[in-house]
Every structure is written in C-alpha cells, then in structure tokens.
C-alpha cells in the first residue's frame, strides 16, 4: 500500500487523484539526471510521464537501485537543469498508475471512503499517512470533525471496498466506539454536566 502525497516544501499540493513518485534529489552526472528521494519505484518506470514544477515530462533514463533510483526527464538538460528542480515532487496521474496486488490500494482510491463498523459511521477518509510501523487512514469523524487515525492492520480493518466508497473497521479494537456514537446535543446546546458525552466522566 502506498501513501498519498503531501504538500511539497517548494510547490502546491498535487492534484486530486495524483500519486507522488518521489522528490527530485541531487543531480547525477552532467546530462540532467538526478537521484530520486523518498522514491516509489513502481511509479518510476522508463517512459512514464510525470509532472514536476507545473509541467509534464517523460522519464527517458532509469538507472540506480530501487532504494536510490536515478532518472532523467525529457527536456531537462545539464546539471543546472536538474539542480533547478531539486526538492520538488514528481507526481503521476493516478489513472495511469500500475495495477497493485491483492490487498493493496493507491491512496487516492481510499480518500473520501466512509469508515464504518456495521451501522456505526466513524467518518470519512481524508488521506493516508505513514506511521513508523505502518500506514494509517486519517479519518474526519462524524459528528464533530475530529481527526482520528486508523492503522492499516488486519485487526483494525475488516474490509476495504473502494468501488463502494466503504471501509469497514473494528471500532472496539480501535477503542473508537465512543467516538463514533458520541451524541450531538440538539440545537447546539451543551447538555453535559462537565463531562464529555461519551460516558467518560468522573
């Protein structure tokens, strides 16, 4: 499974449905080639069209290793041309992404999916993020709009159906059953007596 791109330090966020293939690293040689940092090798094949710095270009050279790929883009000439792109994100159109194996999804396929446990609605996936040990869904809860993280692990995720815009989870395992069922006071009034509506009071 792969993570949806975040806003780069030097450019705007990628367009919806796009995938980050990596970030332009330091130049390699004198022909415009450069290392790719934070690479996603499956998206860096020879001939793939990437977007960078507001324009598109095909990959015309692919060398290096899976961990430290080296690429050259059509129209990027010389070391100075590669240096000018340093730090920028390389993205591709999600529609042109290669097929993944069973149990894998591109992050843009999961964005916008409802997250449920049976009839209980937790919220909607806003993006996929990387944690030290795994990837996680960032979910905006309903009601409240709070952000909770759902790790992409077998015990937490029961079923993923992007075509149905649905992800089924185990809220008890996640300790989020209270968040999903938290009542909302009518007319915006606070009906609590000093404690939250989840039954966690003193």
Among 4, 23, 24, 26, CA closest to 14 = 4
Establish if 126 belongs to a structural domain: yes
Q: How many CA atoms lie within 13 A of 152 on its CB side?
A: 24
Identify the pLDDT of residue 52. 95
Q: Which residues contact 186 (CB under 8 A, 6 or more apart)?
A: none
Establish if 11 belongs to a structural domain: no
Residues 111 and 52 in one domain: no
Share of the chain above pLDDT 70, in %: 79
Establish if 156 belongs to a structural domain: yes
Alpha-carbon gap, residue 92 to 57, rounded angstroms: 10
Among 95, 126, 149, where does a domain finish? 95
Q: Which residues contact 113 (CB under 8 A, 6 or more apart)?
A: 124, 125, 160, 162, 165, 166, 167
Identify the pLDDT of residue 42. 86
Residues 50 and 119 in one domain: no
In sequence order, what DSSP letters do the residues of 112-139 get, joined into one string? T-EEEETTEEEEEEEEEEE-SSSEEEEE
Establish if 170 belongs to a structural domain: yes
User: Which of 70-74, 144-148, 177-181 has the highest average model confidence (pLDDT)?
Assistant: 70-74
Residues 119 and 87 in one domain: no
- The CATH number of the domain where 177 resides is what? 2.30.30.240
pLDDT band at 40, cuts 50/70/90? confident
Compute the average pLDDT of residues 87-92.
Answer: 94
Asked if residue 60 has pLDDT above 60, the reply is yes
Give the total number of structural domains in the chain. Answer: 2
Bridge-partner residues for 136, per DSSP?
129, 151
Among 52, 70, 95, where does a domain finish? 95
Residue 135 vs residue 182, higher pLDDT: 135
Residue 142 vs residue 177, higher pLDDT: 142
Identify the pLDDT of residue 187. 52
Establish if 192 belongs to a structural domain: no
Identify the pLDDT of residue 17. 65
Asked if residue 31 has pLDDT above 50, the reply is yes
Compute the average pLDDT of residues 34-42.
Answer: 92
Span 166-190, pLDDT tens digits: 999 999 999 987 666 555 555 544 4
Residues 63 and 119 in one domain: no
Q: From the CB of residue 29, how many other CB atoms can be counted at a distance below 10 Å?
A: 14
Compute the average pLDDT of residues 72-80.
Answer: 96
SS3 string, 145-165, reads CCEEEEECCCCCEEEEEHHHC
- Do 137 and 149 form a contact (C-beta atoms < 8 A)? yes
Compute the average pLDDT of residues 97-119.
Answer: 85
Establish if 194 belongs to a structural domain: no
Residues 91 and 22 in one domain: yes
Residues 23 and 89 in one domain: yes
Establish if 46 belongs to a structural domain: yes
Asked if residue 36 has pLDDT above 80, the reply is yes
Identify the pLDDT of residue 182. 54
Which residue range(s) make up the domain with 158? 107-184
Q: How far is CA 54 from the centre of its chain?
A: 20
Q: How far is CA 16 from the centre of its chain?
A: 11
Residues 176 and 122 in one domain: yes
Identify the pLDDT of residue 59. 96
Identify the pLDDT of residue 131. 85
Residues 91 and 132 in one domain: no
Establish if 42 belongs to a structural domain: yes
């Amino acid at each position: 499974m792969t993570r949806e791109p975040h806003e780069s330090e030097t450019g705007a966020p990628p367009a919806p449905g796009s995938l980050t293939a990596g970030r332009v690293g330091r130049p390699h040689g004198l022909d415009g080639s450069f290392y790719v940092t934070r690479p996603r090798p499956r998206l860096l094949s020879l001939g793939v069209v990437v977007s960078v710095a507001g324009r598109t270009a095909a990959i015309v050279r692919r060398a290096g290793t899976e961990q430290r790929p080296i690429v050259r883009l059509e129209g990027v000439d010389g070391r100075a041309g590669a240096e000018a792109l340093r730090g920028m994100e390389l993205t591709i159109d999600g529609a042109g992404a290669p097929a993944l194996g069973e149990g894998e999804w591109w992050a843009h396929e999961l964005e916008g999916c409802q997250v449920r446990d049976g009839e209980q609605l937790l919220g909607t996936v806003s993006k996929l993020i990387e944690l030290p040990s795994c990837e996680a869904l960032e979910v905006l809860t309903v009601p409240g709009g709070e952000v909770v993280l759902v790790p992409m692990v077998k015990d937490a995720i029961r079923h993923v159906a992007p075509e149905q815009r649905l992800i089924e989870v185990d809220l008890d395992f996640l300790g989020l059953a209270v968040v999903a069922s938290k009542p909302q006071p009518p007319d915006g009034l606070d009906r609590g007596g000093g404690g939250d509506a989840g039954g966690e009071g003193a």
